[in-house]
């Protein structure tokens, strides 16, 4: 069992039921998006940077049955638990009002575990938690000895998913909204004016790992998506609006990274016995 | 549809949760921005006994008479930052760079590049940034004019082997105004058989003038390659030895076979970082102070073990007084 699953189970203390073994659906999805990004990092500059942003993400979603280890045995619709693994890669090329440039990149890997709480005919609601591991950094093209800053984080948070199913032009559509917010974790940060030379060349790593909670780390993701079936139960086209935000205040250093993307994706469903 | 509208509003709302930064290029905003950057991150206010608030008051009333992005504003800001008397504090614009160079301009140069030719001649050897030659009396002579020039390990091995029969070597770092600290480490590690604490560094941990971390030691570890520790080494210095070169001198003076000769170094004991102003000008400043092994600031320079100045009569005769003093010292 993955560590994230264990932590989330402990956190929510929820119970589940066994079910019979029948074919299930597992989905794979890929998205590519473009949008805009806002970057502020006062370790590098007191100026905000804004610019175009690119996003690539992919992931899988599968139902879980906890009573039978290693099984994917519940019909997707009946599953009470689901596991969603997401990987995303984001880059922003920002420009300050003064014309200087900054490059931002981020990689985020997260494992979501959700339990379906409401399952009505047209809509459903799932709630759960996630463990995210991510990192990246910013490179300021005009700075000398401090051109870059690094992001590394391990976040534990809550996530909620609601689906609304409806028919449009005789096609079954699904509108989904998923919101995730970090509650706790650890992150890397230099001290206020500590140089990376000092941390990585001289080895002064004291106080560079920070315990994070919502007061010093607001980290969220919102994903609104419309799924349009391409072939019955096999694949869908997905149109997304994804908003990510990461606001931190560690060691008196403020950072804000906010991106909004419109992305087009493809979902493929697989029957798994 | 109401739910969808609510979600969209939430997204827009979160996207707008930004702390707005004043990015106007108005002279007042640029002035205040520069003053604040230094106020929060410059590291030598207390060490230099500078009242930064008083300096704000001294210059603030003059700002409103300057046009945005004008040369007058640039010069005014330049005047203000030169109050810090720090060679690592610069203001960069497309048309000019503000610099404080009095740490060497106000002193005798004690170095004449034309005299160097009389010692190196034209048949000297070159290894990366190091020029070297055996002088007539077999004393080794090495010049290194910038710590930004890389040093190769294989090159140093060859140089020390080349000077194996010399009674000692002179390392002439006059007019070397700094560069990469990694080159300081690489070169100094060839002159010690023991791991030593060469310097200490601190960094600011908050915006107040007295918020500093503990002292963190910087070590020099003996190189596993060819070392030069059995014979005399003389380091030649002048007021233009600055920044990384200053750190090199602070390290080398701790070693038993090393003698520092020439004039006091220029200083530059602060590790500099950069920041930007709203109008696109950039500022560089010292943010992490470094100290010698006795926890003393090296920002104001380091005294040599033996003070020797370039004699103008020697200079006319083509003789470098400081090199000659070093040769005599080695042969003694």
Tell me: the pLDDT tens digits for B173-194? 999 999 999 999 999 999 999 9
Tell me which chain B residues have a C-beta less than 8 angstroms from the C-beta of A45: 275-276
- The helix/strand count (H/E) of chain A reads as 2, 11
Beta bridge partners of A152: A135
| pLDDT for A15 | 33
- Which tokens belong to B60? 């603030």
Beta bridge partners of B89: none
Nearest residue of chain A to residue B16 (CA atoms): A258
For chain B, say whether A146 makes contact (Cβ under 8 Å): yes
| pLDDT for B21 | 62
Residue among B11, B23, B273 minimizing CB distance to A145: B273
Contact criterion met (CB < 8 Å) for A46 and B279: no
Residue among B17, B213, B280 minimizing CB distance to A98: B280
Tell me which chain B residues have a C-beta less than 8 angstroms from the C-beta of A145: 271-274
Q: Which chain A residues in 218-257 lie under 8 Å from chain B, judged by CB atoms?
A: 220, 222, 224, 241, 243, 245, 247, 251-252, 254, 256
User: Considering its fold, how many domains does chain B have in total?
Assistant: 1
Contact criterion met (CB < 8 Å) for B4 and A38: no
| pLDDT for A76 | 55
| pLDDT for B2 | 53
Residue among A48, A224, A245 minimizing CB distance to B7: A224
Shortest Cα distance from B298 to chain A (angstroms)?
Answer: 18
Q: Report d(CA B163, CA B226) in Å as an integer.
A: 12
Shortest Cα distance from A191 to chain B (angstroms)?
Answer: 6
To the question of domain A3-8+32-272 being in CATH 3.40.50.2300, the answer is no
Task: Work out how many CB contacts closer than 8 A connect A with B.
Answer: 138
Shortest Cα distance from B4 to chain A (angstroms)?
Answer: 9
User: Angle at which helices B71-82 and B27-41 pack, to 10 degrees?
Assistant: 20
In a domain, B112, yes or no: yes
- Per DSSP, the residues of B159-189 read HHHHTTTSSEEEEE-TT---B-HHHHHHHHT
CATH of residue B127's domain is 3.90.226.10
For chain B, say whether A176 makes contact (Cβ under 8 Å): no
User: Angle at which helices B52-63 and B71-82 pack, to 10 degrees?
Assistant: 170
| Chain segment B224-251, per-residue pLDDT in tens | 999 999 999 999 999 999 999 999 999 9
Contact criterion met (CB < 8 Å) for A142 and B15: no
Residue of B115, B36, B117 lying closest to B80 (CA atoms): B36
Contact criterion met (CB < 8 Å) for B272 and A144: yes
Q: What is the DSSP letter of B48?
A: T
Contact A238, A264 (CB under 8 A): yes
Tell me which chain B residues have a C-beta less than 8 angstroms from the C-beta of A207: 205
Beta bridge partners of B242: B267
Contact criterion met (CB < 8 Å) for B206 and A175: no
| pLDDT for A65 | 67
Report how far Cα A207 is from the mean position of its chain's Cα atoms: 26
User: Number of C-alpha atoms within 13 angstroms, CB side, residue B66?
Assistant: 22
Shortest Cα distance from B192 to chain A (angstroms)?
Answer: 19
Tell me which chain B residues have a C-beta less than 8 angstroms from the C-beta of A101: none
Tell me which chain B residues have a C-beta less than 8 angstroms from the C-beta of A197: 181, 271
| pLDDT for A13 | 35
Mean pLDDT by 10 residues, chain A (273 residues): 46 36 73 97 94 97 65 55 95 93 97 91 93 96 90 96 92 94 96 92 91 96 94 86 96 96 94 65
In a domain, B322, yes or no: yes
CA A263, A212, A109, A13 dihedral sign is: negative
Contact B97, B76 (CB under 8 A): no
Residue of A273, A235, A268 lying closest to A28 (CA atoms): A268
CA dihedral A150, B32, B77, B278 (to 10 degrees): 50
Q: How many CB atoms neighbour CB A151 within 10 A?
A: 22
Contact B56, A78 (CB under 8 A): no
| pLDDT for B65 | 87
In a domain, B97, yes or no: no
Q: Report d(CA A74, CA A79) in Å as an integer.
A: 5
In a domain, B69, yes or no: no
Residue among B17, B205, B277 minimizing CB distance to A191: B205
- Per DSSP, the residues of B202-270 read --B-SSSTT-B---EEEEEPPPSS----SSEEEEEE-TT-BTHHHHHHHHHTTSTTEEEEES---B--E
Q: Which chain A residues in 13-42 lie under 8 Å from chain B, judged by CB atoms?
A: 38, 40
Residue among A48, A194, A220 minimizing CB distance to B23: A48
Contact criterion met (CB < 8 Å) for A97 and B272: no
In a domain, B207, yes or no: no
Q: Report d(CA B138, CA B331) in Å as an integer.
A: 10
Q: What is the DSSP letter of A46?
A: S
Res B5 pLDDT > 70: no
Contact criterion met (CB < 8 Å) for B282 and A198: no
Q: Report d(CA A151, CA A255) in Å as an integer.
A: 10
| pLDDT for A18 | 33
Nearest residue of chain B to residue A191 (CA atoms): B205
Sequence-separated (6 or more) residues with CB below 8 Å from residue A232: none
Tell whether pTM > 0.80: yes
In a domain, B62, yes or no: no
Q: Report d(CA B23, CA B15) in Å as an integer.
A: 19
Q: Report d(CA B92, CA B95) in Å as an integer.
A: 8
| Chain segment B112-138, per-residue pLDDT in tens | 999 999 999 999 999 989 999 999 999
Contact criterion met (CB < 8 Å) for B207 and A100: no
In a domain, B281, yes or no: no
Q: Report d(CA A27, CA A63) in Å as an integer.
A: 10
In a domain, B130, yes or no: yes
Residue B100's φ and ψ, nearest 5 degrees, are -110, 110
CA B311, B315, B319, B320 dihedral sign is: positive
For chain A, say whether B19 makes contact (Cβ under 8 Å): yes
Tell me which chain B residues have a C-beta less than 8 angstroms from the C-beta of A241: 8, 11
Residue of A41, A67, A61, A181 lying closest to A111 (CA atoms): A61
| pLDDT for B23 | 66
Residue of B114, B110, B76 lying closest to B93 (CA atoms): B76
Q: Report d(CA B242, CA B240) in Å as an integer.
A: 6
For chain B, say whether A69 makes contact (Cβ under 8 Å): no
Tell me which chain B residues have a C-beta less than 8 angstroms from the C-beta of A178: none
Contact criterion met (CB < 8 Å) for B276 and A47: yes
Distances (CA, A) of B222 to A111, B174, B197, B244: 47, 25, 12, 19
* Structural domain range at position B318: 105-192+227-267+302-331
Average pLDDT over residues B28-38: 96
């Amino acid at each position: 069992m993955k560590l994230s699953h264990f932590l989330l189970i402990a956190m929510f203390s929820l119970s589940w039921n066994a079910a019979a073994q029948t074919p299930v659906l597992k989905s794979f999805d890929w998205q590519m998006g473009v949008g805009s990004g806002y970057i502020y990092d006062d370790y590098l500059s007191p100026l905000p940077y804004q610019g175009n942003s690119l996003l690539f993400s992919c992931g899988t979603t599968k139902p879980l049955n906890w009573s039978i280890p290693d099984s994917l045995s519940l019909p997707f619709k009946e599953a009470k638990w689901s596991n969603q693994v997401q990987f995303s890669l984001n880059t922003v090329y920002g420009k300050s009002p003064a014309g200087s440039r900054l490059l931002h990149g981020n990689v985020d890997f997260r494992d979501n575990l959700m339990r379906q709480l409401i399952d009505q005919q047209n809509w459903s609601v799932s709630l759960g938690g996630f463990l995210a591991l991510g990192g990246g950094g910013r490179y300021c093209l005009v700075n000398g000895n401090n051109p870059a800053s690094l992001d590394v984080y391990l976040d534990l948070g809550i996530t909620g998913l609601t689906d609304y199913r409806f028919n449009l032009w005789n096609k079954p559509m699904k509108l989904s909204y998923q919101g995730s917010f970090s509650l706790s974790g650890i992150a890397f940060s230099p001290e206020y004016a500590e140089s990376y030379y000092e941390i990585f060349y001289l080895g002064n790593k004291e106080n560079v790992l920070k315990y994070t909670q919502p007061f010093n780390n607001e980290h969220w993701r919102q994903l609104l998506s419309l799924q349009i079936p391409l072939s019955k139960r096999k694949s869908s086209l997905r149109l997304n609006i994804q908003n990510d935000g990461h606001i931190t205040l560690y060691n008196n250093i403020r950072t804000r990274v906010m991106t909004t993307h419109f992305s087009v994706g493809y979902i493929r469903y697989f029957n798994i016995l | 549809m109401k739910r969808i509208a609510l979600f969209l509003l939430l997204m827009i709302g979160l996207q707008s949760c930004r702390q707005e930064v004043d990015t106007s290029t108005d002279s007042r905003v640029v002035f205040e921005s520069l003053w604040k950057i230094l106020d929060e991150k410059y590291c030598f206010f207390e060490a230099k006994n500078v009242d930064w608030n008083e300096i704000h008051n001294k210059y603030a009333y003059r700002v409103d008479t300057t046009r945005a992005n004008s040369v007058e504003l640039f010069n005014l800001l330049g005047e203000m930052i030169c109050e810090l008397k720090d060679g690592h504090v610069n203001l960069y614009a497309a048309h000019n760079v503000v610099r404080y160079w009095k740490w060497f301009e106000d002193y005798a140069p004690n170095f004449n590049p034309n005299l160097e030719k009389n010692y190196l001649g034209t048949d000297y050897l070159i290894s990366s940034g190091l020029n070297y030659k055996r002088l007539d009396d077999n004393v080794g002579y090495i010049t290194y004019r910038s710590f930004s020039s890389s040093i190769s390990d294989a090159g140093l091995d060859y140089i020390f082997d080349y000077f194996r029969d010399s009674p000692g070597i002179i390392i002439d770092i006059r007019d070397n105004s700094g560069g990469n600290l990694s080159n300081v480490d690489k070169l100094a590690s060839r002159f010690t058989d023991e791991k030593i604490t060469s310097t200490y560094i601190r960094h600011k941990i908050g915006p107040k003038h007295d918020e500093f971390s503990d002292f963190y030691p910087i070590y020099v570890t003996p190189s596993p390659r060819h070392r030069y520790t059995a014979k005399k080494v003389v380091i030649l210095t002048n007021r233009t030895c600055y920044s990384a070169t200053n750190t090199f001198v602070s390290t080398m003076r701790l070693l038993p076979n090393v003698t520092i000769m020439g004039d006091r170094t220029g200083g530059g004991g602060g590790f500099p970082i950069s920041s930007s102003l709203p109008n696109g000008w950039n500022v560089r400043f010292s943010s992490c102070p470094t100290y010698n092994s006795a926890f003393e600031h090296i920002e104001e320079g380091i005294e040599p073990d033996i003070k020797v100045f370039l004699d103008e009569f020697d200079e006319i005769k083509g003789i470098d007084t400081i090199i000659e003093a070093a040769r005599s010292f080695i042969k003694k």
